Amino acid sequence: MAEEKNTCDEVIFDSETASTLVKDLRKNFLSGKTKSYEWRVEQLKSMLKMIDENEQEILDSLRIDLSKPQLEAFVSEVSLTKSACTVALKELKKWMKPEKVGTSLTTFPSSAEIVSEPLGVILIISAWNYPFLLSLDPVIGAIAAGNSMVLKPSEISPATSSLLKRYAEKYLDSSAIRVIEGAVPETSALLEQKWDKILYTGNGRVGRIVMAAAAKHLTPVVLELGGKSPVIVDSNIDLKVATRRIAAGKWGCNNGQACIAPDYIITTKSFAPKLIDAFKCTLEEFFGENQLESKDISRIVNSNHFARLEKFLDEDKVADKIVLGGKRDKTNLKIAPTILLDVPEDSLIMNEEIFGPLLPIVTVDKVEDSFDIIRSRSKPLAAYLFTNDKKLEKEFVSSISAGGMLINDTTLHLTVHTLPFGGVGESGTGAYHGKFSFDTFSHKKGVLYRGFQGDASARYPPYTPRKQRLLRALLNGDIFGVILALIGWSKS
């Protein structure tokens, strides 16, 4: 069992320790401190300060954990986290303001509003592939909504996990925001507790464990999972731009170790050779001829994931389908960008999320046939289409169910804070980013206001025939019937 150390003794983080932690956080939340606008702003500003003052150390930790290129780490982790924080600071007052809504004739005279209130004590379990962004982005939403919280970073990215704990204690309010490091025992101890909401980012197997634990307490859950995100490539496109954008979304995003990275391509049999030739040029332009030596490609996170990807490549019915790449460096946990053509439908690589630098191409007779392939599978976290055909684009959006979509590019929808980011079906449940993060960690409380005027006697017994006519007319929204009932007439 992993242990959490203090300056005196070694303290095991077990269920009892977790219970005490949650009680302390709940006591702090019930004091009302985290609900104030001032507290929320102070924490968000402190987080920005934390990032600005320690940017290089953050980038260094990402290099240690994933060999992430510095520019990629800055753009996809540091910059996006700062952007989420900045948006929350700019919009927070507006988000917190009650929303006025209309009322009905049956409550006249009255007014109504929707009040956003914090849920309480939140558990956030983050992932290893974007260990900084995927840890702090939901924390920003939980802070903005006024909650207390625990962040459990992934033990698979230990350098970033350690950094998050160290700097959270230094910059943030530790009476309301705690970081707990560890592995399965610590996570299990946390999951035994009663939370007001849990957000988990990771895979479906662990997602089921999280949901089962949450069900014991009727705790609502946001699951940010993944799946096999397809890319349909039509033939009427700018091929150079398309391959650059697909390559950037696949190999430029943590070398394919991203939940929204393209997982497989569908194109026509006649267009596939042109597409492969274009990829060959693009990959050489991006990463050189010896791509294993490129400093612009992340390594595979650990030996277990490396072995998993090798298993995909070495399967008998797949090994001869490689048309580009395929080189490996087991010592340095590197696999070159690899493209495979027409792998069998029942192969491992076509039935499990790849989460790595391997990209199969599936061919069809007509591009429209690709829709049936996607619909026959679990709903993906992302779906991409490259085309200049507006009719095909419209059919794609209306007929394919996915967490999110992007036309003529990949992965960039993640950066648009006005769009919800989340899955559907087995790719996840719930969404966050921007105001959606605030809403995810808030309860929308409906409030109706009435005075003492307009107290209609028809509401109360005894229910005479006249009162019944009036009530029926009111409930049916029949203004003419209401008038007739008030003056003692009936429609008959």
Count other Cβ atoms within 10 Å, centred on residue 181: 19
- What DSSP element (H or E) covers 323? strand 322-324
| Average pLDDT of span 343-360 | 96
Which residue carries 């929350």 as its tokens?
88
Catalytic status, residue 38: no
Query: Model confidence over 420-430: pLDDT tens digits?
Result: 999 999 999 99
* Range in 30-34, 91-95, 464-468, 486-490 the model is least confident about: 486-490
**Which entry of 85, 181, 259, 426 is annotated as an active-site residue?**
259
Query: Model confidence over 250-287: pLDDT tens digits?
Result: 999 999 999 999 999 999 999 999 999 999 999 999 99
| Average pLDDT of span 179-189 | 97
Q: 22-25, long-range: CB within 8 Å, 24+ apart, which pairs?
A: 22/121, 22/150, 22/193, 22/194, 22/195, 24/175, 25/121, 25/148, 25/149, 25/150, 25/175, 25/176, 25/178
Query: Model confidence over 221-258: pLDDT tens digits?
Result: 999 999 999 999 999 999 999 999 999 999 999 999 99
What confidence category does residue 338 fall into, taking pLDDT thresholds of 50, 70 and 90?
A: very high
What confidence category does residue 73 fall into, taking pLDDT thresholds of 50, 70 and 90?
A: very high
Strands ordered across the beta sheet of 442-450: 99-101, 110-118, 442-450
For helices 15-30 and 184-191, the axis angle rounded to 10 degrees is 50
Q: What is the pLDDT of residue 5?
A: 41
| Average pLDDT of span 435-449 | 98
Query: Model confidence over 352-394: pLDDT tens digits?
Result: 999 999 999 999 999 999 999 999 999 999 999 999 999 999 9
Q: What is the DSSP string of 69-120?
A: -HHHHIIIIIIHHHHHHHHHHHHHHHHHSPEEE---GGG-SEEEEEEEEE-S
For 296, counting Cβ atoms within 10 Å of its Cβ (0-12 exposed, 13-18 middle, 19+ buried), the class is: middle
Q: Under 8 Å CB-to-CB from 14, ≥6 apart: which residues?
A: 185, 189
Catalytic status, residue 224: yes
**Which entry of 72, 77, 224, 426 is annotated as an active-site residue?**
224
Q: What is the pLDDT of residue 117?
A: 98
Question: For the chain, what are the domain ranges?
Answer: 15-225+434-444, 230-423, 456-487
Cis geometry, peptide bond prior to residue 185 (ω within 30 degrees of 0): no
CA–CA dist 329, 270 (Å, integer): 34
pLDDT over 80 at 116, yes or no = yes
CB 284 within 8 Å of CB 278: no
CB 387 within 8 Å of CB 235: no
* Range in 88-102, 301-315, 353-367, 452-466 the model is least confident about: 452-466
Question: How far is residue 135 CA from its own chain's centroid?
Answer: 11
CB 199 within 8 Å of CB 232: no
CA–CA dist 202, 205 (Å, integer): 9
CATH 3.40.640.10 fits 230-423, yes or no: no
Phi-psi region of 347 (alpha: psi -120 to 50; beta: other; left: phi over 0): beta
Query: Model confidence over 199-211: pLDDT tens digits?
Result: 999 999 999 999 9
**Domain 15-225+434-444, what architecture?**
3-Layer(aba) Sandwich (3.40)
